[in-house]
Structure 1
Amino acid sequence: MSVERGETTAGNEAKGAKPHKFLGSLRDALMAAGRDETTPGRPAVAAAPAKSPSPPQVQAATTDDVVPPPIASKPDVLSAEEAARLARSGPEPKIPEGLGLSKEKEADAPPTTRVVRPEPPKARKAEPEPEAAPRTVLVRGKQKIEHGAFERDPVVAFLIVVGGPGLGSYRPVFEGNNTLGRSRDNRIALDFGDDAISNEAQAYLRYDSTDRSFLFVPNLAKTNVVSVNDKRPAGPVPLQPMDVITLGRTQVAFLPFCGSDFDWSEISET
């Protein structure tokens, strides 16, 4: 095989073909090394460095396709004191654009970050405390009643309608002389729609505070008839509790409030 390879190489040289530079230099280096090993006392010749094959040509890219690699910024190196101050102060507030601050006034401008604290609640007006309800007072024995003057006529009895128009109604009887009639001008007006009652003073009902007695006096000048307990009196008639007086078609029951047990003079000045 070596003979054929030598013949092929010799044939190539005879044909005028130039040997490859890389292969030729490598062959020369091997041959020189073999001669140095076989020849004693001859200094070794340094082999020529092998030339690396030229790199393949790369088509140059246009400026539009080439993206320059990012330039790594050099990290800032802070001292321990600056790092501590930066940690205490926190990040610097960014001033938004358009505030109109010049560069000279940026250092004096107040920070944009503000601490908002809730407003304290407004003090409510002190509301007046409700008055305490009066306590029940235990009363033992007979208590003295304060005397005073009357602001209106005192009521001494009641006439309660127990028959006829106005059934269930009542009329107060006052101290002194009281007229009974259908008109409201009477002191005791029986205006329930009974036309059989005289318009004015068909009878009188009198209370005397000196002897604490009640008298019913018919008006004999009137033609309308009145009666007390189904009896037609011809003069004054003393009234007792629950006596029934008839005037026209209306019956009223007499119910006294004052009498032997009580009178307004006990608690009044006049």
Structure 2
Amino acid sequence: MAIERGETTAGNEVKGGKPHKFLGSLRDALMAAGRDETAPAAGVAAPAQVQPVASPPVPAARSEEPKPIPVAAASDSLSAEEAARLARTGPEPKIPERFGLSKEKEADSPPTTRVIRAEPSKPRKVEAELDTEAPARTVLVRGKQKIEHGVFERDPVVGFLIVVGGPGLGSFRPIFEGNNTLGRSRDNRIPLDFGDDAISNEAQAYLRYDSTDRTFLFVPNLAKTNVVSVNDKRPAGPVPLQPMDVITLGRTQVAFLPFCGSDFDWSEISEA
């Protein structure tokens, strides 16, 4: 029988002597599908079965409950009490090696938590120094006490000059026992340094207290050009002073107020 173009022979050859593998394999597959798999046709090779690709094994889900350990196996190396506890609670969880810890290393490693205890407080030196420098407590004095009178440590005050007019209103200056100079400079024994330039710088007048007769005298310095007055009178010599007399020097007025006099003098309570 003549073979038409496109037909195949039993040897899977086409006209021209060249095999056609695709058509031969397709015919074989169709013939094998219509027959029983266990009895393939004679002279026809059974098609190669495709082996399924084995999928990677899926790890089984981790069971939450620990597997029980046979008590018989554990009792060989453990006591009865430990074997019973192990059967109830299960084995101790193993520390993963990836954390860098093991049971032996954990026992050898020092604890990570340190307990720091505060040192006992020490007494402050500052408080001790303050206690030593603290003033003495006030002592309660009962009854009449004897007061000792000694020598003067400074010049005793016998009276005061109080500014009642001009610069320095309301100020005062003490009068000392003996001879006192009055002037604008601080070198004077009674300085009237309140800013009045009409007062002479040095010794424009003198004020003297005599403890023998307990009297006060005001003596103007006639060598000075600036004129002084006592109660609006310009003295040319010594003038005895009485309480509340007003002395004028330049544009300043001072009132005289005695402390010592006929009623009191420092010689009554002092040894010198």
TM-score bracket, normalised by the shorter chain, equals 0.5 to 0.7
Partner of 1:255: 257
The correspondence for 1:117, drawn from 111, 115, 118, is: 115
Question: Map of 1:151-170 to 2, 5 A cutoff?
Answer: 152-170=154-172
Out of 171-180 and 136-145, give the one that drifted further.
Answer: 136-145
Instruction: Structure 2: give runs of 5+ residues left out of the alignment.
Output: 1-50, 87-91
> Once the two structures are superposed, what CA deviation does each residue of 1:33-71 show, in whole Å capped at 9, x if it has no partner?
xxxxxxxxxxxxxxxxxxxxxxxxxxx997537658689
Q: Give the partner amino acid of 2:147.
A: K
2:132 matches 1:134: no
Query: Take 1:164 and 1:82, find their aligned partners in 2: how far apart are those partners?
Result: 111
State the secondary structure of the residue aligned to 1:159.
strand
Residues 108 and 241 from structure 1, CA distance in 2 versus in 1: closer, same or farther, beyond 3 angstroms? same
Residues 99 and 137 from structure 1, CA distance in 2 versus in 1: closer, same or farther, beyond 3 angstroms? same
Partner of 1:212: 214
Query: Take 2:248 and 2:56, find their aligned partners in 1: how far apart are those partners?
Result: 131
Partner of 1:144: 147
- Percent sequence identity over aligned pairs: 64
Out of 154-163 and 125-134, give the one that drifted further.
Answer: 125-134
Q: Give the partner amino acid of 1:219.
A: N
Residues 244 and 93 from structure 1, CA distance in 2 versus in 1: closer, same or farther, beyond 3 angstroms? farther
The correspondence for 1:191, drawn from 168, 190, 193, is: 193
Instruction: Structure 1: give runs of 5+ residues left out of the alignment.
Output: 1-59
Partner of 1:3: none
Does structure 1 retain, via aligned residues, the 8 Å contact 2:245–2:256? Answer: yes
2:77 matches 1:82: no
TM-score normalised by the chain length of structure 2 = 0.55
Out of 212-221 and 126-135, give the one that drifted further.
Answer: 126-135
- Measured after TM superposition, the shift of residue 231 of structure 1 is 3.0
TM-score normalised by the chain length of structure 1 = 0.55
Residues 64 and 222 from structure 1, CA distance in 2 versus in 1: closer, same or farther, beyond 3 angstroms? closer
Does structure 1 retain, via aligned residues, the 8 Å contact 2:178–2:210? Answer: yes
Does structure 2 retain, via aligned residues, the 8 Å contact 1:93–1:112? Answer: no
| Number of residues of Structure 1 aligned to a counterpart in Structure 2 | 203
Q: Give the partner amino acid of 2:230.
A: V
RMSD: 4.3
